[in-house]
């Protein structure tokens, strides 16, 4: 049987490919379990400094697998507690950058899985739909949190309540994603982006994730204090020393991502 998630390493990038192309990579228990163990392994491995998440075939991810016991009167909260919420929390807490390479349709929790990444790029033929309303559900996997922050309240409500499909170009124009890229060479361009991130100061990226993640719930005073604490830690990283040294020596820095001394 094919693996639900393909795991590959290129340099310091771990590539995770959702691999149920015949179901547009819909999420079942097997995919969730494979993603959980893949992210756990990435957390533990200091040699991995960036993640690229993409889908096999013509889709990125069509959300929850509707063929798997999804009939009415089911406790959906249980599977959200077990699978979706830990996945989104794990991605947001991962002290390494995650690039979502949306190669095709991203629907329902599949769209929100992409939005849980740090940088989302999409092929120009890809599209996004908060499809939940079509089956009587609300956006989950962080959707009601991500959408208003990314695109504002008016567009968040439209996307959620109407479930319309928007193109990758529109998604980029609205600020839902970072960039829309040409179909030709899409994977290579997304991999190049992840590779670039994997050579940047990993501790600073981890600290940015913490600060940006906390910003929504903090007042300015709290956020200023958090920035001070995180910057204090950054000042003790080998990458800060290397960055300044390289600047003064007029050369490219060689960042290692090592933790503060």
Q: Does residue 62 belong to the site contacting ligand T3D (CB under 6 A)? A: yes
Number of residues counted as binding ligand T3D (CB under 6 A): 23
Strand order in the sheet with 59-61: 59-61, 105-107, 127-129, 165-167
Closest among 69, 201, 85 to 141, alpha carbons compared: 85
Query: For residue 260, how many other CB atoms are within 10 A of its CB?
Result: 14
Which of 140, 197, 202, 204 contacts ligand T3D by CB under 6 A? 140
CB distance 226 to 211 below 8 Å? yes
Closest among 82, 147, 80 to 112, alpha carbons compared: 147
Q: Could you tell me which stretch among 46-54, 76-84, 152-160, 182-190 binds ligand T3D (CB under 6 A)?
A: 76-84
- Cβ closer to ligand T3D: 164 or 242? 164
Rg of the chain, C-alpha, whole Å? 19
- Cβ closer to ligand T3D: 76 or 241? 76
CB-based burial, 164-179: b 16+ in 10 Å, e otherwise: ebbebebbbeeebbbe
Tell me how far, at minimum, the Cβ of 129 lies from ligand T3D, in Å.
Answer: 6
Q: How far is the CA of 211 from the CAs of 139, 141, 214, in angstroms?
A: 25, 21, 5
Q: Does residue 55 belong to the site contacting ligand T3D (CB under 6 A)? A: no
Name the DSSP letter for residue 258.
P
Q: Does residue 207 belong to the site contacting ligand T3D (CB under 6 A)? A: no
Tell me how far, at minimum, the Cβ of 93 lies from ligand T3D, in Å.
Answer: 21
Which of 67, 71, 154, 248 contacts ligand T3D by CB under 6 A? 67
What residues contact residue 93 under an 8 Å CB cut-off, 6+ apart? 209, 213
Please give the structure tokens belonging to residue 28.
């079942």
- Cβ closer to ligand T3D: 89 or 232? 89
Q: Among residue numbers 6 through 35, which ones bind ligand T3D (CB under 6 A)?
A: 23-24, 26
Q: Does residue 63 belong to the site contacting ligand T3D (CB under 6 A)? A: yes
Closest among 140, 198, 178 to 15, alpha carbons compared: 198
CB distance 129 to 105 below 8 Å? yes
Q: Among residue numbers 93 through 112, which ones bind ligand T3D (CB under 6 A)?
A: 105, 107-109
- Cβ closer to ligand T3D: 66 or 94? 66
Q: Does residue 64 belong to the site contacting ligand T3D (CB under 6 A)? A: yes
Q: Does residue 190 belong to the site contacting ligand T3D (CB under 6 A)? A: no
Which of 102, 131, 168, 207 contacts ligand T3D by CB under 6 A? 131
Residues near ligand T3D, by CB under 6 A: 23-24, 26, 62-67, 76, 79-80, 105, 107-109, 129, 131-132, 134-135, 137, 140
């Amino acid at each position: 049987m094919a693996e639900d998630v393909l795991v590959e390493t290129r340099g310091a990038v771990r590539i995770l490919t959702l691999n149920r192309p015949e179901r547009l990579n819909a999420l079942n228990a097997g995919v969730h379990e494979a993603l959980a163990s893949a992210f756990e392994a990435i957390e533990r491995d200091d040699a991995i400094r960036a993640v690229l998440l993409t889908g096999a075939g013509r889709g990125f991810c069509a959300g929850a697998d509707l063929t798997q016991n999804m009939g009415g009167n089911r406790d959906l909260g249980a599977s959200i507690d077990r699978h979706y919420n830990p996945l989104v929390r794990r991605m947001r807490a991962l002290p390494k950058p995650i690039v979502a390479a949306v190669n095709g349709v991203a629907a329902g929790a599949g769209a929100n899985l992409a939005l849980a990444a740090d940088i989302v790029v999409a092929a120009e033929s890809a599209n996004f739909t908060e499809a939940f309303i079509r089956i009587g559900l609300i956006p989950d996997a962080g959707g009601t949190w991500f959408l208003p922050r990314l695109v504002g309240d008016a567009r968040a409500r439209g996307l959620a309540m109407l479930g319309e499909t928007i193109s990758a170009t529109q998604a980029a124009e609205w600020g839902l994603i970072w960039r829309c890229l040409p179909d030709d060479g899409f994977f290579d361009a997304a991999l190049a982006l992840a590779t670039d991130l994997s050579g940047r100061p990993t501790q600073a990226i981890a600290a940015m994730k913490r600060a940006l993640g906390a910003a929504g719930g903090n007042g300015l005073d709290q956020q200023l204090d958090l920035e001070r604490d995180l910057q204090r830690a950054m000042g003790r990283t080998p990458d800060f020393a290397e960055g300044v040294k390289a600047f003064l020596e007029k050369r490219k820095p060689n960042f290692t991502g090592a933790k503060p001394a």
